[in-house]
Structure 1
């Protein structure tokens, strides 16, 4: 067999584009004793491939099926959930406010004073928010002066 053909087949083989017939030609060439000196390194490769075809796995792999205690796990999980729900319900029944603790007033004057106090607190918090908006409006006016945009006042 010519050396050039073998070298071409080797290139095709390592690129993965050879046919089975061409691979058999390479195996036959490298199993013979008259291999070119510069191709001897491939002879060991092809002999290794032939030997690996003959190898078989003979060891017996034991298979152990693990029995899981699924029933016991499900019962235990159910018990944990039941104890959690029960303890939550038991501990939170004492914290529920009674009807007298819901903020109802018998005396109209006391109710009026409590309402005034709540509305005053609300008004103070709203005024703080409005002051922040005024700062933003001043910032907008200054920015418009820098970028030479006409000044627009809010509400106009």
Structure 2
């Protein structure tokens, strides 16, 4: 078995493991949970989960093979000022949805107190920065995949996001 194949299987298993831990924390009266997995001398995963209100926050120290790990949450709330979603309206299925390419923390502006990259109703060109997702202390600019109008902002500034989580709608 190649090293890449082993790494991929570890990563897939780790994601499922972390999701199971988050579900366990949500279902229990625990407020904190910490787990360390050893795969070898230089290959381990350390996960700390804590409950903040009704939201579970996960911090994972990434093993050498993992592409990215950062705080994630069980769910993200719509941003203040974002158009309210209908109860049957799944943001991930909307046309023009922009999803997170990684696990991390979403930032709507370049720095605290600065103007946001975009606002609802703003016209954007393909490639314009919509927001930043920080992963492992790296600021990753999220570009608009198309030209259009920002219809909805689906995350709050500073909130954790998961891989594939809907961030914005650009139509």
Same fold by TM-score, threshold 0.5 exceeded? no
More strand, by proportion: 2
Comparing both chains, which one has the higher relative contact order based on Cα–Cα distances under 8 Å and sequence gaps of 6 or more? 2
Category of TM-score, reference length = shorter chain: under 0.3
> What is the TM-score of this pair, normalised by structure 1?
0.18
> What is the TM-score of this pair, normalised by structure 2?
0.17
Which of the pair has more CA radius of gyration? 1
